[in-house]
């Protein structure tokens, strides 16, 4: 079973920030939080990951709570092309045990 | 960087036939994953390899499914015999198994079994 829970769907107005929450209350100290998105039936695309600190790249920002039990992916200015299913997963770094499980994710609809 | 390459992109076959899906991971990556995606069940992990060795195949649905990784640059997922319920999109992903490297997915193979 997936170790994360996400709302099944969200809407966001075009041009506004999209804030996608993820709960990972059983995360272990050596597990990273990763975010992916999947557009139509393409392969999931990596967005960002983090361990403890907040992270930002050209696509998004990742805010991880201090207790690491939840996180939020922020798309600062959502466009219609950001309509996709967004997956939050946790993954242990650097070991051979690597059972990466995806949950159902959040279906984000960006509305004009 | 050519990314993860899967072939074929589409496969249509009749029930009972053997199907072989192929994957070429990103050069240098030492972990490889096979996933299956359907509307009903979402993205399911079938099997993953580390340094060409299968680590966990508990997601393989039944004995009709088998996967091999004969070398670091090639993997196959075989279904024999195929059944209509095997119709799905099959994804391959690869990763460096060190640090916090992300998974990189291929574009998938859409399998239809009639």
- Residue B62 clears pLDDT 90, i.e. is over it: no
Tokens of B43: 């993205």
Q: What residues have CB less than 8 Å from B50, skipping those under 6 apart?
A: A96, A98, B30, B31, B97
- Residue B47 clears pLDDT 80, i.e. is over it: yes
- Residue B93 clears pLDDT 80, i.e. is over it: yes
pLDDT confidence tier of residue B2, bands split at 50, 70 and 90: confident
Q: Do A100 and B105 touch (CB under 8 A)?
A: no
CB-nearest to B108 from A34, A41, A87 is A41
Q: What is the pLDDT of residue A6?
A: 97
More confident residue, B69 or A93: B69
- Residue A94 clears pLDDT 80, i.e. is over it: no
Please report the residues numbered 26 through 45 in chain A whose beta carbons come closer than 8 angstroms to any beta carbon of chain B: 32, 34, 36, 41-45
- Residue A1 clears pLDDT 80, i.e. is over it: no
Q: What is the pLDDT of residue A93?
A: 73
- Residue B111 clears pLDDT 90, i.e. is over it: yes
The answer to whether residue B96 neighbours chain A at the CB level (below 8 Å) is: no
Q: Number of helices (H) and strands (E) in chain B: give both, helices first.
A: 0, 11
β partners of residue A107 = A9, A85
State mean pLDDT over A42-54.
94
Tokens of A111: 């509305």
Nearest CA in chain A to B102: A46
What is the rounded distance in angstroms from the CA atom of residue A18 to the CA atom of residue A80?
Answer: 12
Nearest CA in chain B to A95: B97
State mean pLDDT over A15-21.
98
- Residue A2 clears pLDDT 90, i.e. is over it: no
State mean pLDDT over B24-38.
95
pLDDT confidence tier of residue B1, bands split at 50, 70 and 90: low
- Residue B27 clears pLDDT 70, i.e. is over it: yes
- Residue A98 clears pLDDT 80, i.e. is over it: no
Q: Do A87 and B31 touch (CB under 8 A)?
A: no
Q: What is the pLDDT of residue B97?
A: 78
Pick from B88, B94, B89: nearest CA to A42: B89
What is the rounded distance in angstroms from the CA atom of residue A37 to the CA atom of residue A74?
Answer: 13
Average pLDDT, chain B: 94
The pLDDT > 70 percentage for chain B reads 99
Q: What is the pLDDT of residue B66?
A: 97
Q: Do B103 and A42 touch (CB under 8 A)?
A: no
Q: What residues have CB less than 8 Å from B6, skipping those under 6 apart?
A: B21, B22, B23, B24, B90, B91, B92, B106, B107, B108, B109
Query: Backbone dihedral region of B108: left (phi > 0), alpha (psi from -120 to 50 degrees) or beta?
Result: left
């Amino acid at each position: 079973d997936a170790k994360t829970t996400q709302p099944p769907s969200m809407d966001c107005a075009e041009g506004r920030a999209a804030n996608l929450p993820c709960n990972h209350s059983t995360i272990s100290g050596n597990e990273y939080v990763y975010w992916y998105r999947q557009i139509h039936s393409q392969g999931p695309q990596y967005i960002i990951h983090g361990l403890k600190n907040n992270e930002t790249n050209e696509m998004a920002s990742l805010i991880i709570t201090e207790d690491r039990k939840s996180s939020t992916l922020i798309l600062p200015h959502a466009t219609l092309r950001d309509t996709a299913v967004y997956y939050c997963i946790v993954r242990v770094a650097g070991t051979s045990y690597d059972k990466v499980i995806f949950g159902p994710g959040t279906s984000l609809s960006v509305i004009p | 960087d050519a990314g993860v390459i899967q072939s074929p992109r589409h496969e249509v076959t009749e029930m009972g036939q053997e199907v072989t899906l192929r994957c070429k991971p990103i050069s240098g990556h030492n972990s490889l994953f096979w996933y299956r995606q359907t509307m009903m069940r979402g993205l399911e992990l079938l099997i993953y390899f580390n340094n060409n060795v299968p680590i966990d195949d508990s997601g393989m649905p039944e004995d009709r499914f088998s996967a091999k990784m004969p070398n670091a640059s090639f993997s196959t997922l075989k279904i024999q015999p195929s059944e209509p319920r095997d119709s799905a999109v099959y994804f391959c992903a690869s990763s460096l198994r060190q640090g916090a490297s992300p998974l990189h997915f291929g574009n998938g193979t859409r399998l239809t079994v009639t």
